[in-house]
Structure 1
Amino acid sequence: MLRPVELEVRHLRALCAIADTGSVHKAARQLGMTQPSLTTQLRRIEQAVGGQLFTRERTGSRPTPLGRTVLTRARPIVAQMTELIREAKEAAGLGWSGPGARLRLGSTGSRAVPGWLRRLHRRLPDTDITFQTDVSANTLLRMVACNQLDAAFVHEVEGAPLRVPEGVELRVLVGREPQFVAVPESHPAARAGRAVAVPELAGETWMVDPSVDGDWDGLRQVFAAAGIDPRVVYGDYLSAGDLVAAGEVVTPCQPTSRPRPGMAVVPLAGDPLGVRLLVGFRGGAGLTPEGDAVFADLRAAYEEVAWSSPAYARWLTARRGLPVVA
């Protein structure tokens, strides 16, 4: 069952877009969303207000009497918020679209980043888009707070919350992404094409990168819950793949990780290790149409790499879909 949501400006903007275009499909395109995501969001909004807001007809979507009442109040709020953000950005010398505009992005490592940048370059051809990576999500969020970045795509490991600076707002891209494990291709789980239980890996040497915020803390909790105390070595995830392929170590990895010769990416049985995928914006920026577009392009890029990753695609298919937050 969908849980009620507190209405936000982005929800009101979505209602206005559906009313203006007369179609959920057209509104989703205007907002840079997928139609299923907007449909899910509309159902949550209707649950929050307690009634149906639009009727589906052959000619499109039309507001119900309740919908017209809500739209009467929503339109001035959306207009005022848009004007407020525009004036604030002008005062701060900010702007993400048009000639001379700039957009500064950061991210912890993710295969979704190239597709994200490709979509943004296509959407904002006149914008100077710069990008940088850092293994520390907390560092990237501090850079957003200090106006060194406009947005940062980061992950938060379960049991190891990020330190979110004042003035930074977070939007949740994926509420829980399971973390998989990279094992040698010769490992029984890799040959059988199945999920591997953590105790099966008790005799392996695990490699973890201690500079990645939360990774070691989260993994240590998984070991404790499984009642194992394996050997752990420290290193960086860039070199871990070669060591996995050589049969020297196993290492936790993102489910979208690309296998290489000699290495396989397999799920952990029971999904004991998970992360939240988040986008950090400076306060207010994530509520603008441009902020929505930046978020929507990242979501589309993530969906693309998720479904193109064989092990993750099988995991998603078994669970009937991608756990992306609308």
Structure 2
Amino acid sequence: MGVKRIKLGSQGLEVSAQGLGCMGMSQSYGLPKPEDEMIELIHHAIDSGITHLDTSDAYGPHTNEILIGKALKGGWREKVQLATKFGIKRIATENVEICGDPAYVRAACEASLKRLDVDYIDLYYVHRIDTHVPIEVTMGELKKLVEGGKIKYIGLSEACASTIRRAHAVHPITAVQIEWSLWCRDVEEEIIPTCRELGIGIVPFSPLGRGFFSVGPNVIENFTENDIRKILPKFQPKNMEQNKLVFERVNEMATKKGCTPSQLALAWVHHQGDDVSPIPGTTKIKNLNENVGALSVTLTSEDMAELESLASMVKGDRYGPALRTWKDSETPPLSSWKGE
């Protein structure tokens, strides 16, 4: 089993065409999973050719980075491209503050390096954009971290096109991480074209619709009390009736193609171009093997058009109004900055 390599962005970073999102190992989709099992999964992924690992200081918080650090002991670090993020500053369980001021940028990076127990981070993302700090200020400190060898490449997560342009003008952005799938396509209007114009790689998260295309509408039966999907609009009963029909049609197509619905949905993301490295998350080796199998699914232009027609039928917003996305990522002009 192998996974091809792609160039992510135009700054020199090379990663596996499919990555591994590690968030679900520690939070959001139920209780944290057993550490030894997750380390085994990570090692299996690397042995399978997946070298692009994605985490964040917010996952846990902090525990996911510690887990990844343990998994990379004993010679595994040299085999991967490690991505983590900063910017979501948790004050309490119910309250989250976004922070992008320079002192916090540096402190967060140092803390991540310590938890991961590594000398440098391959790809360091701004996890959410601080709308009180000009993006040029945040990027200025990240540029210093690159110059100091703490990080190799800079990424943005949940950033709108104008913020991406402003950030890229300070220091080249290597990757933008956004939700992109048959389940969520609103980034195609401005964000994807902007990334391609500027030579920025694209890292889609939740490419399987947060498990919807893996399990189907019955996925809601497995939600625990602390599963974030319980509050997401697309999973609510009024929308799920429509989305159930979408899954049934995708399932029919997958049967004809000789693959699973999740492989078909993931193959659609892979067919978006060689500048795309989706990061499906999983906590099971069986599912990881299935995800890698999506790389072998070939789609015709007719297949792509049919899938996109089905995607247009998906009902429900991506998030509720309380959760920040790229739509809320404009920052003040640099001239307004009165900080350090």
Shorter-chain TM-score bucket reads under 0.3
Q: Which has the higher strand share?
A: 1
Larger radius of gyration: 1
Q: Normalising by structure 1, what TM-score?
A: 0.27
Q: Normalising by structure 2, what TM-score?
A: 0.26
